[in-house]
Structure 1
């Protein structure tokens, strides 16, 4: 009779072979187009051995690997072709600088808050060839009586003639030394309704008190995100600091500027708590930005965006911003997408500021991805198929080659000069019979209770404890049996 321990070892070896066979099978599936969530026909450019194809949103919202490892391009024989992953270069932009003079806004010295500029009486006068903007703090400008001393509370810039988008802005100003000053920039078409545009904090060291300190701190170039300022005024305010603002330099852009991102809408998740919205993402593709548009009219909600990959992880902050939607001059305006910096998370939480009323209804959500393209060698016969989204591919090995290996004599950005093949998303074949026409991501509830990963770990632990218990019981039983046999042997039977 063989020892029980050998039988147990054989059983463990058989289990190991079973799991390794499953891994081999999953790896084999990566080379079969039928295993992918979406398959899109690709129309090649004529007479070009090296080509490139842009990854459409339909593929990006189905990837299960943050490194795009579950993307393949198959030829007509079902074989993956040699390929490399590349980004998309930004289009070149021609920039021009425009200098705008500042028209001072005068107000009573007792005005403590810049918000007090709202709803005040405004008068613009021409004085010796200069335009002066004066604010009446009590609505009785020019009336008889004592006149309160006035000081410069801010300045106006006339940007109505700008025809091109504005990418950044620099102030020509002097401010007190040793005092951080917050400059706020707002835009308006009628000098009544103002919307926030940019903000920066600047500091000038006192050379006498700290001769080794840097001259200025803070970002003097304010990013205006290609704002359209045609027919707009700009208002610059700085609180109570004694600031002299002579003007500002605005940089306009004639090109398309930053590369255009790939966008996909998302179905509105269920809103259980007006100050907290939690949902899961069915993909692992890194997110460049998230557009949050609240429902309703004239709504403004400060929000925080947090993310995690599974329930056992704590929430990590990704970004903070203000989500708003308001109507100014008959035109609806909303906040820009919130930058997430390429975070790859499977669950997202949007928290509304406790000082706000929160969301009355689930906001509109739109996802943005950095554009990516496949550079590939036309190997074999067509038709060619772009496939993406492989279940269980979160840690799959990448099939991408370095660009220098794929493109002979490769030069930086050379991939952007290759002919473009087109992915025909209208004829996409999607596993599960989902419609191929849209790129709307389904709203999925975040994980609740114990995750599948925890169940698997607990199952393995309990199975191990059970196996150890069974081994101990069998060994104890065998020991007792051997002791009983030894006791039945007569003493004179010993050699």
Structure 2
């Protein structure tokens, strides 16, 4: 029975080793470009050892690790290059807007020395708004009154004020000093700006000397009045143009179109994502015209998990005055999920057809050291990378004497997305994301692994049966 025991031991070892061998054979090698789902040619900027590369949608829609661990950059010798992962710097845009402000004359006694320490009150006179000095004394006859300045209502201005342009008629040959002040209560004033204007020629409509635009240094004017005074000069101020300026920092997101998923129910659309890259937003546009659907977007990573609410929104497509309008993206805040469900409000007809879906990703970039010879290749997407560790270095290790955001000043390499090499010749080449059903059976890799495990168990059972049969045929024999 020694031979049978040895055979039994070998069979036991083989059955126990089968899963490990199957996993080892199935695990891709992250050090080889051929192991990745997609390979994209990279063109380097000339004469720059350190460069950066903005990741294209073709790479983002194939990553299987939410931390971008299955991403590499190879040279012609197949060597991975040292690299770091960074966000793309936001682009700052300045938006200016002009606001016309009407001027309400401030009238008071002709003998008034100035407006300091005096409060104002607004009156209506024959359909015209007039600002009157509140001196606490008796009323001043109209014949003894003069225009001492003007009041502008800036309470509705919410954006920072950049400058104020005066629209005024000036006396000829007389320098005029203008002062602009602000107040919330028409009593306590603070100075904002001043200028001196001079009109030399009576035929000139504006001042020939001085600048009639006063810089306001981005002051906040919400809930404020403006007061403009000009001393004893005879000035007709018709109004002013206030220029507001607002700076916005935005990142141009990377987009990929999803093939239309199968719609089996007008109030529910469920599909799987073939990648793990965090999704910033979904742009969901209903089919048809004049359609409005309140929706909820839910997500999960496994069919055994409960659905989690990611966002609620109203999506629409409408035509007004011959111009089509569509809803903006539904923000998902960088959710990394493998299955998504879109629920339409049951109080509406829902979707007549699957809506158009565009995936949006926050832009990311690789900062790398261009070592070795070209051509260079960006590789993305490993079949088994859930627990993979990325090859990213700290930015301070890659860039000598690193300073914050220094990577954004590096030369920019480019990718040629027209020459994408997809493993297996997948028809989903490019940024188009194939729609997948979340109920599509067991993955091929799991089937292969279960088949190997089952074969090992059958081999072990067969050997046990052979040993048992031989033992019964030769009773009483020793080992």
* Deviation per residue, 1:226-252 (Å, 9 max, x gap): xxxxxxxxxxxxxxxxxxxxxxxx986
Q: CA deviation at 1:254?
A: 4.5
Q: Map 1:283-432; keep pairs closer than 5 Å.
A: 283-432=275-424
Q: CA deviation at 1:477?
A: 6.5
CA distance in 2, matches of 1:449, 1:426: 33
Question: Are 1:302 and 1:321, in contact at CA under 8 Å, matched by a contact in 2?
Answer: yes
Local SS of the residue matching 2:413: strand
CA distance in 2, matches of 1:25, 1:465: 19
CA distance in 2, matches of 1:423, 1:270: 33
Unpaired segments of 5 or more residues in structure 2? 102-124, 130-155, 162-242
Residues 29 and 73 of structure 1: CA distance in aligned 2, closer, same or farther (over 3 Å): same
* Deviation per residue, 1:156-211 (Å, 9 max, x gap): x899xx9xxxxxxxxxxxxxxxxxxxxxxxxxxxxxxxxxxxxxxxxxxxxxxxxx
CA distance in 1, matches of 2:452, 2:21: 18
1:253 is aligned to: 246
CA distance in 1, matches of 2:421, 2:378: 10
Local SS of the residue matching 1:405: helix
Q: TM-score scaled to structure 1, two decimals?
A: 0.60
Q: CA deviation at 1:68?
A: 1.4
Residues 462 and 295 of structure 1: CA distance in aligned 2, closer, same or farther (over 3 Å): same
Residues 476 and 89 of structure 1: CA distance in aligned 2, closer, same or farther (over 3 Å): same
Q: CA deviation at 1:358?
A: 0.3
CA distance in 2, matches of 1:290, 1:265: 10
* Deviation per residue, 1:7-37 (Å, 9 max, x gap): 4443343455555455555566322222222
Q: Map 1:92-491; keep pairs closer than 5 Å.
A: 92-94=92-94, 128=127, 253-255=246-248, 257-434=249-426, 438-448=430-440, 484-485=475-476
Question: Are 2:28 and 2:382, in contact at CA under 8 Å, matched by a contact in 1?
Answer: no
Residues 472 and 314 of structure 1: CA distance in aligned 2, closer, same or farther (over 3 Å): farther
CA distance in 1, matches of 2:332, 2:98: 31
Question: Are 1:427 and 1:436, in contact at CA under 8 Å, matched by a contact in 2?
Answer: no
CA distance in 2, matches of 1:98, 1:295: 38
Question: Are 1:98 and 1:252, in contact at CA under 8 Å, matched by a contact in 2?
Answer: no
Local SS of the residue matching 2:424: coil
CA distance in 1, matches of 2:22, 2:434: 30
CA distance in 1, matches of 2:64, 2:58: 13
CA distance in 2, matches of 1:295, 1:266: 14
Residues 376 and 24 of structure 1: CA distance in aligned 2, closer, same or farther (over 3 Å): farther
Residues 369 and 8 of structure 1: CA distance in aligned 2, closer, same or farther (over 3 Å): farther
Q: CA deviation at 1:301?
A: 0.5
Q: CA deviation at 1:388?
A: 1.4
Residues 127 and 44 of structure 1: CA distance in aligned 2, closer, same or farther (over 3 Å): farther
Residues 305 and 456 of structure 1: CA distance in aligned 2, closer, same or farther (over 3 Å): farther
Unpaired segments of 5 or more residues in structure 1? 102-125, 131-156, 163-249, 489-495
Q: CA deviation at 1:379?
A: 1.0
Residues 43 and 277 of structure 1: CA distance in aligned 2, closer, same or farther (over 3 Å): same
Q: TM-score scaled to structure 2, two decimals?
A: 0.62
1:83 is aligned to: 83
Q: CA deviation at 1:299?
A: 1.1
Question: Are 1:66 and 1:284, in contact at CA under 8 Å, matched by a contact in 2?
Answer: yes
Local SS of the residue matching 1:317: strand
CA distance in 2, matches of 1:403, 1:411: 9
Residues 463 and 314 of structure 1: CA distance in aligned 2, closer, same or farther (over 3 Å): farther
Q: CA deviation at 1:94?
A: 4.4
CA distance in 2, matches of 1:477, 1:437: 57
Question: Are 2:22 and 2:452, in contact at CA under 8 Å, matched by a contact in 1?
Answer: no
Q: CA deviation at 1:419?
A: 0.9
CA distance in 1, matches of 2:62, 2:56: 11
Q: Quick check: which has more Rg, 1 or 2?
A: 2
Question: Are 1:311 and 1:448, in contact at CA under 8 Å, matched by a contact in 2?
Answer: no
**Mean Cα displacement is larger for which, 311-320 or 436-445?**
436-445
Q: CA deviation at 1:280?
A: 1.9
2:170 is aligned to: none
